[in-house]
């Protein structure tokens, strides 16, 4: 029974190391991700010992490691070899999820800017009718009425 448990620890450790390496994570980065998910310290030395099969993994650590690596706990426990392209598929899926998060943030920022622009366009301009804009190309004088007119035209063409 003890030998079987050692084999499981070795297999899980090898699988964690394989997936971590394929994901481009250092042991320190993986340990930090596991710590974050556990809500307690999981050090680099612990990750090293785990990957070497020298330290058993607890159920909560197994779940945290799987989550950090973007796989299921079954994937970490499986006797089956990973398909050669499985790691690439996991990395592509992880990249897509990260890009999706960045896209969501950009859309939220666009919506905030759009609401702010709509509110400003609905208000009557107060004060000066021109604005000096400084850019890398130099200083330009901009007529606010032209700018508002252009913004309204562009805003009508969007959502």
How far is 79 from 97, CA to CA, in rounded Å?
28
Q: How far is CA 100 from CA 90, 106, 111, in A?
A: 15, 10, 16
pLDDT tens-digit profile of 88-111?
Answer: 777 787 788 888 888 888 888 888
pLDDT class of 43 with cuts at 50, 70, 90: very high
The pTM score is: 0.55
Give phi and psi for 118, each to the nearest 5.
-60, -45
Residue-range domains of the chain with CATH: 2-80 (1.10.260.40)
pLDDT tens-digit profile of 102-139?
Answer: 888 888 888 888 788 777 777 665 655 555 555 555 55
How far is 156 from 151, CA to CA, in rounded Å?
9
DSSP states along 115-153: HHHHHHHHSPP-S-SEEEEEETTEEEEEEHHHHHHHHHH
């Amino acid at each position: 029974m003890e030998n079987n448990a050692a084999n499981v620890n070795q297999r899980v450790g090898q699988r964690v190391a394989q997936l971590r390496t394929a994901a481009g994570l250092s042991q320190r980065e993986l340990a930090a991700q596991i710590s974050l998910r556990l809500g307690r310290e999981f050090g680099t030395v612990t990750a090293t010992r785990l990957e070497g099969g020298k330290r058993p993994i607890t159920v909560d650590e197994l779940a945290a490691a799987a989550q950090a690596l973007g796989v299921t706990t079954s994937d970490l426990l499986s006797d089956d070899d990973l398909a050669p392209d499985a790691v690439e598929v996991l990395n592509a899926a992880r990249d897509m999820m990260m890009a999706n998060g960045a896209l969501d943030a950009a859309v939220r920022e666009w919506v905030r800017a759009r609401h702010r622009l709509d509110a400003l366009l609905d208000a009557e301009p107060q004060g000066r009718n021109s604005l000096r804009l400084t850019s890398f190309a130099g200083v330009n004088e901009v007529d606010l009425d032209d700018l508002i007119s252009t913004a309204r035209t562009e805003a009508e063409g969007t959502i």
